[in-house]
Structure 1
Amino acid sequence: MQRTLKFVKHLPGFGVECTVLTVDPEQGAYPVLDESLAAEIPAGVRVIRTSTSEPFGSYKKLTGRQQIPYGGFANESKTSLQQQFFKFVRGNLFIPDPRRGWNAHVLRAVANLIDQEGEIFDAVLTSSPPHSTQLIGLALKQRYGLRWLADMRDPWTDIYYTKELNKTQLARWLDARYERQVLEQADEVLVTSPDTKRLFLGKSPALAAGKFHVIPNGYDDSDFREPSAPPPHALLITHTGTISETYHIEQFLRACAECARRHPEVPLRLRFVGHVSAGVQQQLAAAGLTDRTELIPFVPHDESVRYLLRATVLLMAIPDVDHNFGILPGKVFEYLAANKPIICIGPVGSDADNLLQECGAGHSYAYDAYDTMLEYLEELTRQWQQNANLDLPALNHTMYSRRALTQQLVKLIVK
């Protein structure tokens, strides 16, 4: 949860005293954990870790899996009958999501702070997904009249994987009802992209555009203190984060293979840092790129940043799903901070495409734009032969620093 962590890191610098309520890591279940990020919590910030009630322990026992699924099941390539059953249970018995069991624990902790200890809070910020967290804000608004900022990092009922959950009509109605209640009763709604703002605004005629604020994800200057170090002996294209078949990078991989065939004198290499689905690994093999590709499993955030700085070019992909024009991954801002050329595979004209062009870092290629991708890769090989360092001039991205974005949040907190 880097977005919330970075807000908490910078809010004290603007005179905002924070209390954070989160889950006891011994009781919560997560696909991955990055303990290194805990070092960024300011010493003066009070962190209260509560118990939780989640079904994920039972899920692992029943399925025999060591890892729980991501929200969109991106770490589960094949769908068995068993998985279909669990998706149905997830979509119809856990509304809005299985994390809702945490809410009662949080509400008790807040009641203790306010009713027993006499704490006074000026505002509450709830960040999601999981969108069940927004129901905590709704309850606190109704119970204490606190000013409430709902931070919606992703769509809710329109999230791309909702179709896979096989929801009944009743489940869809209840989920949409929760969504409307949150959007209508929150004092301010924060979103990460313009298209997501448009999506939420259409949920109710009672919603006013003025309560919606686009505060995108960003990058932290302190994460980029090390110098850029692109490899001198390879044209290295790096992707960080999870990637699966839904990202449709097949044509890009074909273009890489053809570029390498046409220019054997240029050592073209690929590096994926993070979870790479079995399907994408098969695509790499089919393109003949296995020997040119390095797969590195999950690494802590600071190490992930180092991989960005050690790349020649950065690869980003937007999943080929509904409402993907508003998908603006948090990592794109760290890509920008690395000052490397960025190749984005995804919808042309999307929020991500517009951001890259606005900052002069690159642009998007449609999933099937093989010829255009190959043309650009060949241009990069020509540039690399002249100079192995393809770093861009200082990009215009300072407005996306975490501190600048936190300053925008402060204005809403004290509004």
Structure 2
Amino acid sequence: MKKVLIITYYWPPAGGPGVQRWLKFVKYLPEFGVEPVVYIPENPTYPLTDKSLASEVPENSKIVQKRIFEPYSLAKIFSKKNTETISSGIIAKEGKQNFLQKMMLYIRGNFFIPDARKFWIKPSVKFLKRFLKEQQITTIITTGPPHSLHLIGLQLKKDLNINWYADFRDPWTQIGYHDKLRLSKSSQKKHLALEKEVLNTADHIITTSFTTRAEFQKKTTRPVTVITNGFDLKTAENDVQLDKKFTFSHIGSLLSGRNPENLWKCLEELISENKEFANDFRLNLIGAVSEDVLDSIKFAGLEKHLRLQKYVPHAEAIELQRRSQVLLLIEIDSQETKGIIPGKVFEYMAAKRPILALGPAEWDICQILDETLAGTFFRYSEEKELKSHILKLYSQFKEGRLEVESRNIQNYHRKALTANLAKLLKQTWL
């Protein structure tokens, strides 16, 4: 069995979708003849933790740790103000940033390039050069963000000429928040230069979205492959006890940019027009919800129909998805976000409940929903169509036949996706 070194920042007990991608790859790679060795920081600062994920780390996993220096006090400031760190892509709206936030954004963007984990690069390269030789490992995978980890891979590639796969869970310079970092011209040039060097030095680029692949293919001649995120569950059985109410549930953060005011308006109209709908409807928001979103919900008169829950462990989130009548998938209405595929969509598919998706035109989600028939997509401007669809779902709910006839969802099981990854790795080894 051939070894591969996976360099990742996020690992249990980190919470959120970012950690699960490589946790699941590590789980299934041995079944395809690949032995994963995982390199992680010994003392990371995670904005979210989920101790339950620690039980999912395979017992025989080889984990290598190295202490990291990072300005975690900066991360703490952002995590308090905006729920997650900037490196997670969550930034307050420009008009709502106070002076301290603006200053910290400037420092983050111009003094920590590419990100606040930059101090892990040199010690990691020094340590891993020796480790890779000792373990006779000739293939590495770096996964970002944080993109500092790709710079570890870049230097190891230069020094050892090993096989290097760069996995981008999110874009780099084209991610939605990049232009909010208050970058100087020289800092912007540095980011672009580093991104270009990584994209043109790695042996293979992996992305999680089709849009990011297309963007990267304009910047490199290296092969770029999409391996999306996925689910690692049995699909829901028919005996799942569904909510008695007509529940719309959103699992995960719903921050200022993701505020579907058109949806709130449609629901407000339906509630005022139909007393039976008003009695049956409930809105479940599980995770961090911004004051802007809550204000919009209250303004629409939906407050008494709202049930709020803070971040819940992964297993509980799965249970909530399976019980819900309809699952909400919401993205910012921007061309910059059309390449974002929220990890929750795959678990939504496994839950086998109808997905109602709202987002930008040409959103990558559309391709997945078309392939799987797992849900319906609407643009923010399609209020009339959205309202009509909700009424259709409600009619099916009242008749006891609100179901989803999905197909091809097993293509997005973590084991199937790991098979695709193993195939890529073995191509290098031939």
Work out whether the TM-score is over 0.5: yes
Preserved contact between residue 37 and residue 64 of structure 2 (Cα < 8 Å): yes
1:345 is aligned to 2:358? yes
Change (3 A) 1:256 1:156: same
Residue 314 (structure 1) aligned with residue 318 (structure 2): no
Tell me the secondary structure at the aligned position of residue 255 of structure 1.
Answer: helix
What is aligned with 2:395? 382
Aligned length: 405
Matches within 5 A, 1:154-233: 154-204=170-220, 207-208=221-222, 211-222=223-234, 228-232=240-244
Match of 1:35 in 2: 51
Q: Structure 1: 5+ residue runs without aligned partners?
A: none
**1:53-64 matched pairs, under 5 angstroms:** 53-57=69-73, 60=76
Cα deviation, 1:363-407, whole Å, max 9, x if unaligned, reads 2211122211111111111111111x5232353211111000000
Distance in 2 of aligned mates of 1:391 and 1:219: 20
Aligned to 1:244: 255
* The one of 421, 424, 428 aligned to 1:409: 421
% identity of equivalent residues: 32
Q: Hey, what does 1:52 align to over in structure 2?
A: 68
For 1:343 and 1:299, the matched residues in 2 are separated by: 22
C-alpha RMSD of the superposition: 2.2
Q: CA separation in 2, counterparts of 1:338 and 1:67?
A: 27
- Give SS of 1:31's match: coil
Tell me the distance in 1 between the aligned counterparts of 2:239 and 2:144: 34
Show the counterpart of 2:341: 328
Shift of 1:56: 1.7
**Aligned equivalent of 2:105:** 87
Q: Which amino acid aligns with 2:292?
A: G
Q: Is the 8 A contact 2:340 2:364 kept in 1?
A: yes
* Residue of structure 2 in register with 1:260 after alignment: 271
Change in Cα spacing, 1:81 to 1:322, as seen in structure 2 (3 Å) is farther
- Does the 8 Å contact 1:348/1:364 carry over to 2? no
TM-score, normalised relative to structure 2:
0.89
1:137 counterpart = 2:153? yes
> Structure 1 CA distance, aligned partners of 2:151 and 2:236?
36
Work out whether residues 39 and 63 of structure 2, in 8 Å CA contact, stay in contact via their aligned partners in 1: yes
Runs (5+) with no aligned partner, structure 2: 1-18
Q: Distance in 2 between matches of 1:62 and 1:177?
A: 27
What is the match of residue 162 of structure 2? 146
The CA deviation at 1:192 is 1.1
Question: How far is 1:137 from its partner?
Answer: 0.9
- Does the CA contact (< 8 Å) of 2:78 and 2:84 recur in 1? no
Instruction: Report the CA distance between 1:71 and its aligned residue.
Output: 2.7
- Alignment check: 8 A CA contact 1:21 1:106 kept: no
> 8 Å contact 1:31–1:67 — kept in the other structure?
yes
TM-score scaled to structure 1, two decimals? 0.92
Aligned counterparts of 1:123 and 1:225: Cα–Cα separation in 2: 40
SS in 2 for 1:269: strand
Q: Would the alpha carbon gap of residues 47 and 272 (structure 1) be closer, same or farther in structure 2, given more than 3 Å must change?
A: same
Match for residue 13 of structure 1? 31
Match of 1:356 among 362, 366, 369: 369
Q: Distance in 2 between matches of 1:360 and 1:287?
A: 31
